[in-house]
């Protein structure tokens, strides 16, 4: 159901229906890639929760889930470059397939740190599934293995993505104009 024009925040890039369709396609692809194997799905808090839920609903695998939270921003709006884990995972990842679910790959600084951090636990594999990829801002050498949509250098909100902790609950992805 589309919201009325007055309630839409920003300009819509991707509707809920488009996101659901992409989650189904990606869930099918991930299920084929890991067929017959267990998969540990690790969501990055807070932004990836809604996307992670959609992906999980479309997996036909034996899955376990956990969450991790890290930040390189502190209280500012620009990255400090120093990544801190604020909520760690508690599963044994040794020789297990791990899929990190992310809301957006922007500069890649935090995600690169997380991928390396998880790799230190000697998993069988570590891959990344992201709702959005913004390659124009990439600073760290990290790529998504499963990418929902590629976006330009826009300030995106909705579907878990926020502006000052607001708009995460929008059922679509839009962007705010400067």
CA–CA gap between residue 17 and residue 109 (Å, rounded): 30
Look at strands 146-150 and 155-157 and give their pairing.
Answer: unpaired
- Ordered per-residue pLDDT tens for the chain, 178 residues: 444 444 678 899 999 999 999 999 999 999 999 999 999 999 999 999 999 999 999 999 999 999 999 977 555 445 556 889 999 999 999 999 999 999 999 999 999 999 999 999 999 999 999 999 999 999 999 999 999 999 999 999 999 999 999 999 999 999 987 6
Q: Is 106 a catalytic residue?
A: yes
CA–CA gap between residue 10 and residue 174 (Å, rounded): 6
Active-site residue (options: 54, 106, 145, 162): 106
The 10s digit of each residue's pLDDT in 17-66 is 999 999 999 999 999 999 999 999 999 999 999 999 999 999 999 999 99
What pLDDT is attached to residue 178? Answer: 67
Do the Cβ atoms of 95 and 123 come closer than 8 Å?
Answer: yes
DSSP state letter for 6: G
């Amino acid at each position: 159901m589309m919201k009325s024009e007055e309630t839409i925040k920003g300009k819509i890039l991707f509707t809920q229906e488009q996101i659901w369709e992409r989650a189904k396609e990606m869930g099918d692809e991930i299920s084929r890639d890991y067929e017959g194997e267990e998969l540990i799905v690790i969501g990055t808090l807070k932004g990836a929760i809604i996307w992670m839920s959609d992906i999980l609903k479309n997996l036909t695998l034996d899955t376990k889930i956990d969450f991790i939270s890290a930040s390189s921003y502190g209280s500012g709006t620009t990255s400090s470059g120093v990544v801190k884990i604020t909520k760690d995972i508690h599963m044994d990842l040794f020789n297990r397939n791990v899929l990190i679910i992310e809301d957006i790959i922007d500069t890649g600084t935090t995600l690169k740190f997380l991928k390396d951090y998880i790799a230190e636990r000697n998993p069988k594999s570590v891959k990344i599934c992201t709702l959005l990829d913004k390659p124009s801002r990439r600073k760290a050498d990290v790529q998504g293995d499963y990418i929902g949509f590629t976006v330009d250098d826009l300030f995106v909100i909705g579907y878990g993505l926020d502006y000052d902790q607001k708009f995460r609950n929008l059922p679509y992805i839009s962007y705010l104009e400067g």
